[in-house]
Amino acid sequence: MAEHASALPRARGRLDSAYRVAATGFCFAFFGTGGLVLRLLVFPLVELFIRDPARRTQVSRRVIHHTWRFFVWLMRAVGVITVEVRGLERLRRPGLLVLPNHPTLIDVVILVSLMPDVSCVVKSALLANPFTRGPVSAAHYVCNDAGIALIDDSLEALRTGNSLIIFPEGTRSPQGEPIKLLRGAANVAVRARVDVTPVVIRCEPLMLGKGQKWYEVPPRPGHFTIEVREDVAIEQFLESGASEPLAARRLTQWLEQFFQQEARRGGD
Q: What domain range includes position 196? A: 2-266
pLDDT of residue 220: 94
Helix axes 107-114, 53-77, angle to 10 degrees: 110
Residues 6+ apart with CB under 8 A from 31: 71, 109, 131
Q: What is the CB-side half-sphere exposure of residue 74 using CA atoms within 13 A?
A: 18
pTM, 2 dp: 0.92
**Residue range 3-24: mean pLDDT, rounded:** 78
DSSP E strands in the chain: the ranges are 81-86, 97-100, 118-122, 142-143, 163-165, 196-204, 222-228
Residues 6+ apart with CB under 8 A from 143: 121, 122, 123, 124, 126, 127, 136, 150
The CATH code of the domain that includes 18 is: 3.40.1130
Range of lowest pLDDT (41-55, 65-79, 114-128): 114-128
pLDDT at 50 over 90: yes
Residues 84-141 have pLDDT tens digits of: 999 999 999 999 999 999 999 999 999 999 998 899 999 888 888 888 999 999 999 9
Residues 26-41 have pLDDT tens digits of: 999 999 999 999 999 9
Averaged confidence pLDDT in the chain: 91
Q: Could you give the CA distance from residue 95 to residue 118 in angstroms, rounded to a whole number?
A: 9
pLDDT of residue 8: 62
Range of lowest pLDDT (43-57, 134-148, 165-179, 249-263): 134-148
pLDDT of residue 4: 53
**Residue range 258-268: mean pLDDT, rounded:** 82
Instruction: Work out the percent of the chain whose per-residue pLDDT is above 90.
Output: 73
Q: Could you give the CA distance from residue 104 to residue 257 in angstroms, rounded to a whole number?
A: 20
Domain tally, the chain: 1
pLDDT of residue 45: 96
What 8-state DSSP symbol labels residue 42? I
User: pLDDT band at 51, cuts 50/70/90?
Assistant: very high
Instruction: Work out the percent of the chain whose per-residue pLDDT is above 70.
Output: 94
Are 194 and 165 in contact by the 8 Å Cβ rule? The answer is no
User: pLDDT band at 14, cuts 50/70/90?
Assistant: confident
User: pLDDT band at 144, cuts 50/70/90?
Assistant: confident
DSSP E strands in 87-213: the ranges are 97-100, 118-122, 142-143, 163-165, 196-204
pLDDT of residue 151: 85
Residue type, 252: T
Q: Could you give the CA distance from residue 125 to residue 254 in angstroms, rounded to a whole number?
A: 29
